[in-house]
């Protein structure tokens, strides 16, 4: 299964739209994960139109979009725990790892978060943590980034795409 992993759209407050190449990646994926900070209901709808198969959480700047603060997705023997990661940058990774641990499955578990606008793929407290950066390049990001994850039989292969 192929997942498109995006976060921190910030449309329309910081950026006018999600780039078409990012939406194309979402359309081509089997499922999309968005780690919050859509910014507006219309932005959430844009992502849903690109892929109705969506797991999403609310971010710290989102209005009430009816999204949870933590969501899980089980794919090919891997549990993905999605959270925005709201809070101080100091201790960010440990905070996200704690949320992942609280929602982990008995098998492989991967955390997906946003908030920092910085790409991350590292192991913390025994969990692989992914942050796709900002799918629009919204400040403080240096560029537009997203991740594509290929998940098969308990294994996750991640590619960062930058525009």
Query: What CATH number is attached to the domain comprising 77?
Result: 3.60.21.10
Q: CA–CA distance from 17 to each of 2, 27, 40, 115 (Å)?
A: 24, 16, 11, 18
Mean of pLDDT values over 78-86? 97
List C-alpha distances in Å: 68 to 55, 71, 84, 110: 10, 6, 10, 18
Per 3-state DSSP, the chain is made up of helix, strand and coil in percentages (nearest 5) of 20, 35, 45
Q: 138 Cβ partners below 8 Å, 6+ apart?
A: 8, 9, 10, 14, 15, 117
**By the 8 A CB rule, do 36 and 56 touch?**
yes
Per-residue pLDDT at 30 exceeds 90: yes
Residue 97 has pLDDT above 90, yes or no: yes
Q: Which residues are CB-neighbours of 143 under 8 A, at least 6 positions away?
A: 133, 137, 162, 163
> In the chain, how many domains are there?
1
Does residue 87 carry a pLDDT above 90? no
pLDDT classification of 89: cutoffs 50, 70, 90: confident
> So what's the pLDDT on residue 103?
98
Helix (H, G, I), strand (E, B) or coil at 140: coil
pLDDT recorded at residue 139: 96
Distances from the Cα of 4 to the Cα of 24, 25, 95, 99, 112, angstroms: 10, 6, 24, 21, 12
SS3 47: helix
For tokens 């990661």, the residue is 85
What average pLDDT score do residues 50-78 get? Answer: 97
65 has pLDDT over 90: yes
- pLDDT band for 83, please (50, 70, 90 cuts): very high
| Domain containing residue 99 | 2-162
pLDDT in tens, 46-58: 999 999 999 999 9
SS3 102: helix
């Amino acid at each position: 299964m192929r997942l498109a992993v995006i976060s921190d759209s910030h449309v329309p407050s910081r950026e006018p739209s999600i780039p078409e190449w990012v939406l194309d990646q979402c359309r081509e994926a089997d499922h999309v994960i968005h780690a919050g900070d859509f910014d507006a209901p219309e932005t959430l709808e844009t992502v849903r139109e690109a892929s109705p198969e969506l797991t999403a959480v609310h971010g710290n700047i989102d209005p009430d979009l009816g999204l949870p603060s933590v969501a899980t997705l089980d794919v090919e023997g891997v549990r993905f725990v999605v959270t925005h990661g709201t809070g101080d940058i100091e201790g960010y990774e440990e905070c996200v790892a704690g949320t992942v641990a609280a929602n982990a499955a008995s098998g492989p578990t991967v955390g997906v978060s946003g908030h920092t606008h910085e790409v991350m793929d590292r192991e913390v407290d025994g969990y692989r943590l992914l942050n796709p950066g900002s799918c629009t390049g919204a400040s403080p990001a240096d560029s537009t980034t997203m991740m594509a994850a290929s998940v098969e039989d308990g294994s996750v292969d991640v590619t960062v795409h930058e525009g």
